[in-house]
Amino acid sequence: MNNIINMKNLEFDVIVIGGGHAGVEASFASANLGNRTAMVVLDRRTISYMACNPSIGGTAKGHLVREIDALGGQMGINADKTMLQIKMLNRGKGAAVQSLRAQSDKDKYHETMEETLENLPNITIIEDEATEVIQDNGVVTHVITKNGLKLSAKAVVLACGVYLDSKIITGDEVHNQGPSGFASANSLTKSLLKLGFNIRRFKTGTPARVRKDSIDYSKFEPALGETDILPFSFMHDFYLENQMPCYLGYTNEKTHDIIRENLHRSPLFGGVIKGVGPRYCPSIEDKVVRFADRDRHQIFLEPETATSNEIYVQGMSSSLPKDVQEAMYHSIIGFENVEILKYAYAIEYDSIDPTDLYLTLQFKKVKGLYTAGQLNGSSGYEEAAAQGLLAGINASQYINNKQELILTRDSSYIGVLIDDLVTKGTNEPYRMMTARAEHRLNLRQDNADIRLTPIGKDIGLVSNERWDRLQASLVELELAKKQIKKGVSSPLINPFLVSIGQSPITDGSTFENILKRPGVTLVDLVKTFGILEEFSSLTIQRVETLIKYQGYLAKETLEIEKAKKLETRTLPADIDYLAIGGIRIEARQKLDKIRPSNLGQASRISGVSPADVTVLMLYLKR
């Protein structure tokens, strides 16, 4: 079998350390590009394991999943196969910020991803702990494992997640463990320090899991999934069936009083937890302190699998002692008799400073060494998978002497994610949000394949079937755009306009102009007049967006072209920033550390002003 290591042959093209969401995408990319790939995991059960919320997608995260899929990655395909419920977030807002989010069966998600890995040529899964990465003259060469294996590689991808020297913290209980009781990796950090990485301590957490049949659901509001929603993957045409409901509930003043009375026992406020936590996903005790004026906070009850008895209580992440957790959970209406199956906990772990990386995710001090995922200071499965995919692609490009891939901010959310991490750094676990993308109207979910599948095709990661689907979709889009320009007479259109509260027209118009009116949807036009009825839902969505946001899209395109002038001005790799007069000392130091690849990246470095960029431009001209 391809997943059983041959002890006589320990030579690989690419070694991926870690099997989480970053590790699997890196391994898939490397193996699918024809490289002999080894994935070193502490425990096979951690492959694509959902240690926190059992969901894929969310605001901006849904964009990342679509982009991963468009490039030829696996997350979207697997999410569709294992979905329990799906909905479109921000449906009442513009197309740019609408995002898919699905509840997944966490057991099936792991099992399906592991099975796909095992059936893929070129992959060997090694169940062991990586303890050391070896380099020779600034080039990565080997990985050493706890069981004494010396694995050679031309490139290595570090995708260690939250396992490096990880500690589980609940009250005064502290255990050297990874998430959900898995083993931690306690030796690799020392090796990373030796290689020259700057190590920081971050923290995240998870809520309790409670017994499904101990909940009084009559006290909660059903939160149902939606129908007629296209799936994550552009390879799937089917509508997803919502199998299970979620439920919405609230904390109350009694819950908050219990938390306030026990803050002195909180590891977060008592100084036991040293790591920095995510600002946008705070614990319940942090929310009670930070938002003291609120008398309640939302919680969502989310099934972890289709068959298990465990319910994930989203919104109640905590590290408070177990007895306090018992009291605060029981204070919630509907939880009076709830049984806690797994207590909430915080987890501290080692991560690196991502400004030590190039935009390709290669470590600046060691050639052929790449990093991805939560090790880079990000949070979330989707952010991790996106980085893993790019790291796997670039590890392959590097060892095959091909140009490495850099995704720009105007091409993708993946480009925004990596540019933010590498150029600006992060002092807390980084979370992707639509507000971070300045060109988000062009970076919609619906056009991820148009933007990125040609790139995946050039690299060799996109299959012929995926490419043919894109070409067919583009042909259909052009036909639909022509059809929507058809003329329509006032006697035909006016009854429809009046029925939806719109003012009638006096002369003829086109369906395109009618669609530009606020309150008119293309779906309504399709149903009423039969136009475009032969086209797919995706095409109809794309046409409506292109017409309704035509002016805004044109304006944003001009801004993108303007920004590209800086992005195309490359900076020499050996430039001596410290010797450039006219640039402030702080800016020189920041430029010297980040080593930006172009003027655009230089302009986004914290501490580099527009005046500094102007001096840098003059320096380049000289």
For residue 5, what pLDDT is reported?
Answer: 53
Q: What is the DSSP letter of 307?
A: S
**Residue 300: its H or E element:** strand 298-303
What is the average per-residue pLDDT within 2-17?
74
Give yes or no for a contact between 251 and 284, defined as CB atoms under 8 angstroms apart.
yes
Pick 469-556's CATH classification: 3.40.50.1980, 3.30.930.10, 1.10.10.1800, 3.40.50.300. Answer: 1.10.10.1800
pLDDT band at 281 (very low <50, low <70, confident <90, very high): confident
For residue 4, what pLDDT is reported?
Answer: 47
Give the three-class secondary structure for 51: coil
For residue 9, what pLDDT is reported?
Answer: 65
* Beta-carbon count within 10 A of 481 CB: 16
Point out the least confidently predicted range of 225-229, 517-521, 568-572. 225-229
For residue 1, what pLDDT is reported?
Answer: 40
Point out the least confidently predicted range of 269-283, 288-302, 410-424. 269-283
Task: For residue 314, give the amino acid letter.
Answer: Q
- Which residues of the chain does CATH 2.40.30.260 include? 209-348
What is the average per-residue pLDDT within 397-418?
97
* Beta-carbon count within 10 A of 1 CB: 7
Of 445, 439, 379, the closest CA to residue 415 belongs to 439
Give the three-class secondary structure for 229: coil
Q: What is the pLDDT of residues 239-278, one digit of tens each?
A: 777 778 999 999 999 999 999 999 999 998 888 888 888 8
For residue 350, what pLDDT is reported?
Answer: 97
- CATH fold of 209-348: Elongation Factor Tu (Ef-tu); domain 3 (2.40.30)
How far apart, in whole angstroms, are the C-alpha atoms of residue 465 and residue 220? 45
R_g (Cα) of the chain, nearest Å? 26
For residue 7, what pLDDT is reported?
Answer: 52
- Which residues of the chain does CATH 1.10.10.1800 include? 469-556
Task: For residue 502, give the amino acid letter.
Answer: Q
Query: Chain centroid to CA 622: how far?
Result: 42
Sign of CA dihedral 537, 539, 542, 547: negative
- Which residues of the chain does CATH 1.10.150.570 include? 568-621
Question: Between the CA of residue 533 and those of 474, 489, 494, what are the distances in Å?
Answer: 17, 20, 21
Over 90: is that where the pLDDT of 232 sits? yes
Strand pairing of 199-206 and 509-510?
A: unpaired
Give yes or no for a contact between 117 and 127, defined as CB atoms under 8 angstroms apart.
no
First to last CA, the chain: 60
Residues facing 611 on adjacent strands? none
Over 90: is that where the pLDDT of 105 sits? yes
How far apart, in whole angstroms, are the C-alpha atoms of residue 388 and residue 418? 11
For residue 379, what pLDDT is reported?
Answer: 94
How far apart, in whole angstroms, are the C-alpha atoms of residue 389 and residue 73? 7
pLDDT band at 567 (very low <50, low <70, confident <90, very high): confident
The runs of H, that is alpha helices, within 339-437 are 381-399, 413-419
For residue 619, what pLDDT is reported?
Answer: 87
What is the average per-residue pLDDT within 547-560?
93
How far apart, in whole angstroms, are the C-alpha atoms of residue 125 and residue 300? 36
Q: What is the pLDDT of residues 173-198, one digit of tens each?
A: 999 999 998 999 999 999 999 999 99
For residue 280, what pLDDT is reported?
Answer: 78
Higher pLDDT, 506 or 132: 132
Contacts of 32 (CB under 8 A, 6+ apart): 72, 120, 122, 461
Q: If you count them, how many residues does the chain have?
A: 622
Residue 570's Cβ-side half-sphere holds a number of Cα atoms within 13 Å equal to 3
Helix and strand element counts for the chain (H, E): 21, 23
For residue 6, what pLDDT is reported?
Answer: 52
Query: Chain centroid to CA 139: how far?
Result: 29
Give yes or no for a contact between 221 and 194, defined as CB atoms under 8 angstroms apart.
no
Give yes or no for a contact between 350 and 199, defined as CB atoms under 8 angstroms apart.
yes
Over 90: is that where the pLDDT of 226 sits? no
Across all residues in the chain, what is the average pLDDT?
Answer: 94
For residue 272, what pLDDT is reported?
Answer: 87
CATH code assigned to 568-621: 1.10.150.570
**Residue 562: its H or E element:** helix 550-567
